[in-house]
Amino acid sequence: MFHKEGFKTILITGLIVVAGILITDHFVSNIWIQKPLMILFLLLFLLILQFFRDPNRKTALNDLHVIAPADGKVVVIEDVEEKEYFKGKRKQISIFMSPLNVHVTRYPVSGVVKYSKYHPGKYLVAWHPKSSEDNERTSIVVENKTLGEVMYRQVAGAVARRIVNYANVGQQVVQGTDAGFIKFGSRLDIFVPLDFEIHVGLNESVRGGETVIALKND
């Protein structure tokens, strides 16, 4: 299964690969050059397919849990001053996505979208400490009746040049469902209240829509 954001790219890449293989077959007679070129074209197509994959995930809906909004590795867990929306202290969890990770963004909690804003910016490497504030990004706040307001931020990286955000203010959303897409390497920041229990550790790999990253104690 592939994400809808990749359909156009997959089609164009497929056409380029087919054309490249046909041209190579017709004009390159040296088999030691011809075969590696054909293999490179096929590998390119396979890389594009794996990047836009959209695997089914089974989200265990729970209004006490904040789940990972994306696949990747946890690179930041720290208390920060969130200046854009909360204007106060929050606990930040950041997930870095390499080009090999699934790049679908999923809603970390169910609730109503209270805030959704796009910010143009730089393209620092996604693990840079300032990328959360300086890079191109979108910030989305979802209000859950049990958890309160939770923010997640899609951050573009040095390669990622397009952020897709489906969240609109006033929209009712469901935990684990499709919230958007970021093309190529990037990161997701999640901001929760300071008293939430963090359920992941640094350098831990997480699965979007499944891994519990924070929770509110009963």
175: Cβ–Cβ under 8 A, 6 or more apart, which residues? Answer: 59, 61, 62, 65, 67, 106, 107, 108, 109, 110
Residue of 94, 131, 132, 186 with catalytic role? 186
Task: Please return the burial class of 84, using the count of CB atoms within 10 Å of its CB with bins 0-12, 13-18 and 19+.
Answer: middle
186 is catalytic: yes
Going by their DSSP bridges, the two strands 137-144 and 212-215 should be labelled as unpaired
Helical axes 7-27 vs 31-51, angle rounded to 10°: 180
DSSP assignment letter at 50 = H
Segment holding 22, helix H or strand E: helix 7-27
The residues that are catalytic are: 186
